[in-house]
Amino acid sequence: MRVCFVSHTAEKYGAELALLELLQGLVAEGVDCKVLVPKKGPLLAALDQLHIEWKIIGYPFWVAGARRRWMSGRILRTARTLLLAIPMAHIIAKWQCDLVCSNTMTIGAGALAARLAKRPHVWHLHEFGYRDPNLLFDLGERRTARLMDRLSAIFIANSHAVVKHYGRYINQERIKVIYQAVTLRDGIESSPGNHATTDKPCFTCVIVGSLHIAKGQDEAIRALAEVVRRGVDMELFFVGAGSKRYRKVLGQQVRDFGLEQRVKFIGYAENPLPYIRMADVVLVCSRWEAFGRATAEAMLLGKPIIATANSGGTAELIHEGETGLLYEAGNHVELADKIQRLYQSPEEGARLGTAAHVWAAGRFTQQRYAKEVIDVLNEVLTEKKRQPL
């Protein structure tokens, strides 16, 4: 089997890391993988290490932030998507791929190219595309979903929450849930800039993820202010990069609460594990989260987690009082209560962390991930033989 994967970027964020996990598992199972990317980035070095052939074609997103919503931009992106689908189809045919998989719904060129190349297309859904108010589709939400449905043989979602989310427009029976693989990245812990201090004089909470309103860092800051007001000696680490604009908003919030000595912005860390290891508690304050790689990493490391109960996929991983604690997104006082609870009861934190590790171990392996995806791809190829495109 030969599969062409279409990535929306060549960075190494959540969806791209999930793709790398899948590629490693598929290569180990004997699948010949090819990858298309829109431009250069750190993902390409990882593909080279896996001996996976890649090609750069500058296809655009078919979504834009609310601040870039002007009509001329929509028209230009749509035109580029249509035009660049043609050379993409030529590459897919030249590679003699059996299938095409788009790794995110933020790009449409892969699906169009697959149709031109007369290959079945699989769409891997890693995000809540319609839930983010700042993510607007050039063709509109409903039109985009209908086009995705028509151009795809099947969909793969990384959580049941994602299935429910897209079920408004796509028949849920056509969406298969496959939890992604999560491999602890110990191999690069010695990389420069990835060392976290172990000399921590106070209770430490960590959030791993992009600085984005969806990740809820602002809520964690409010909870920190409440916990400190109650007399708890606590500090909060943010591990991840984001827009300068939102970073300034968070920085001002920290100053308003007088927490400059208690909040630390680490920035992007290729391997966040040292920071997770140093944490007493890992916070997942996301307002919406399709799966949550950082959540799985913390579970595998045996760390107690406090996460939002109503954000999507996170609640499928964290079971209240068993493998972690949950709170309602938007309720920073409840979050503060849960933090104080684990501060006052380290034994409970240790119990939750151990239970999380036991639950997660063996569930997020590359072998399991690859085999489940291969089963879906074989199903698509079998159906293609019955009903050629």
pLDDT at 130: 65
Residue at 208: amino acid letter: V
Of the CA atoms within 13 Å of residue 320, those in its CB half-sphere come to 8
pLDDT of residue 141: 84
Distance (Å, whole) CA 131 – CA 109: 22
**Neighbouring-strand partners of residue 23:** none
Strand partners, 123: 102, 155
Nearest to 325 by CA among 297, 299, 300: 299
What amino acid occupies position 66?
A: A
pLDDT of residue 193: 34
pLDDT > 70: percent of the chain? 93
* Mean pLDDT score of the chain: 92
Phi and psi torsions of 40, nearest 5°: -70, 155
Is residue 185 scored above 60 in pLDDT? yes
Helices (H), the chain: 14-28, 43-49, 71-95, 109-116, 141-151, 160-166, 217-229, 244-257, 273-278, 293-300, 314-317, 332-344, 346-360, 366-386
Instruction: Please tell me the predicted confidence (pLDDT) of residue 73.
Output: 84
More confident residue, 192 or 315: 315
Phi/psi zone of residue 176: left (φ > 0), alpha (ψ -120 to 50 degrees), beta?
beta
Averaged pLDDT for residues 255-273: 95
CATH of domain 186-360: 3.40.50.2000
Residue-level pLDDT at 186: 64
Tokens, residue 85: 């689908």
201-225 pLDDT, tens digit each: 799 999 999 999 989 999 999 999 9
- With tokens 């790009």, the residue in question is 107
Look at residue 192 and tell me whether its pLDDT is greater than 60.
Answer: no
What's the CA gap between 289 and 90, in Å, rounded? Answer: 36
The answer to whether the CB of 328 falls within 8 A of the CB of 381 is no
Q: Which two tokens stand for residue 296?
A: 């799985």
C-alpha 279/C-alpha 237 separation (Å) is 9
Domain coordinates in residue numbering, the chain: 2-181+365-386, 186-360
214 DSSP 8-state letter: G
pLDDT digit string, tens, across residues 133-161: 667 888 888 899 999 999 999 999 999 99
Q: Please list, in sequence order, all residues whose beta carbon lies within 8 angstroms of the beta carbon of residue 260, skipping any fewer than 6 positions away.
A: 254
Q: Is 302 exposed, middle or buried (0-12, 13-18, 19+ CB in 10 A)?
A: middle
Rounded CA-CA distance 196/207 in Å is 14
**Kind and range of the H or E run holding 345:** none
In total, the chain counts a number of residues equal to 389
> CA 78 → CA 50, 108, 146, distances in Å?
33, 9, 16
Contacts of 268 (CB under 8 A, 6+ apart): 240, 241
Task: Tell me: pLDDT of 261 over 80.
Answer: yes
Eight-state DSSP code of residue 67 = G
Phi, psi of 19 (to 5 degrees): -65, -45
Q: Which of 340, 254, 355 is nearest to 303 (CA)?
A: 355
Report DSSP state, residue 149: H
Sheet of 325-327: strand order equals 263-267, 234-239, 203-208, 281-284, 305-308, 325-327
pTM of the full predicted structure? 0.87
Mean pLDDT of 12-39: 96
CATH topology of 2-181+365-386 equal to that of 186-360?
yes
pLDDT at 190: 33
Distance separating alpha carbons of residues 287 and 272, to the nearest angstrom: 21
pLDDT for the residue numbered 135 = 72
pLDDT at 311: 83
Residue 305 has pLDDT above 90, yes or no: yes
pLDDT in tens, 57-98: 999 999 887 555 577 788 999 999 999 999 999 999 999 999
pLDDT in tens, 327-383: 999 999 999 999 999 999 999 999 999 999 999 998 999 999 999 999 999 999 998
* CATH number, domain 2-181+365-386: 3.40.50.2000
